[in-house]
Amino acid sequence: MENLSYLLIKASRHLKNSLDKKLSKFNVTAAQFSVLNQIANKNGLITSAEVASNLDSDRPTISVIINRLEEKKLIEKVSNPEDKRSVYLRLSKDVFELMKELRMASDQLNCDIFSDFDKNEIDNIKGYLFKIIDKVEKI
């Protein structure tokens, strides 16, 4: 039997690479899409530190992604009136339509990948993954 951790990491890499390919026509990576989703979900009331925390990532990695998204004019930095040292992140006006397309592409990929599983199997996979995540976070 192959090492289960190795298989999970391999599956994760393949899923990320598939999403990268799917989103490449929009000039967005899977990592950038994750950050855009975080910003969209908070409607512009989120800091880079919160994005990093929500995505279980380190701040320098998220800062690089945020800077690239800002260069692409997909997000804007807005002054935080309560803390002059930090800024809020929000989607640029023209990005809302792009977000719909990105989410549709991601959803379609999910459907394609998991089409061979029935609802019960998917529920079981989710349950196992949550159990693994919970266990790893306690270690």
Per-residue pLDDT tens over the stretch 9-28: 999 999 999 999 999 999 99
pTM reported for the whole predicted model: 0.88
* Residues paired with 87 in a beta bridge: 79
Tokens describing residue 127: 């349950």
* Percent of the residues in the chain that have a pLDDT greater than 70, as a whole number: 99
Tokens 């690239």 belong to 68
Sign of the CA dihedral with 7 first, then 18, 53, and 103 last: negative
pLDDT at 1: 56
Domains, the chain, in order of start with CATH, read: 4-138 (1.10.10.10)
Q: What six digits make up the tokens of 133?
A: 């995540």
**Length, in residues, of the chain:** 139
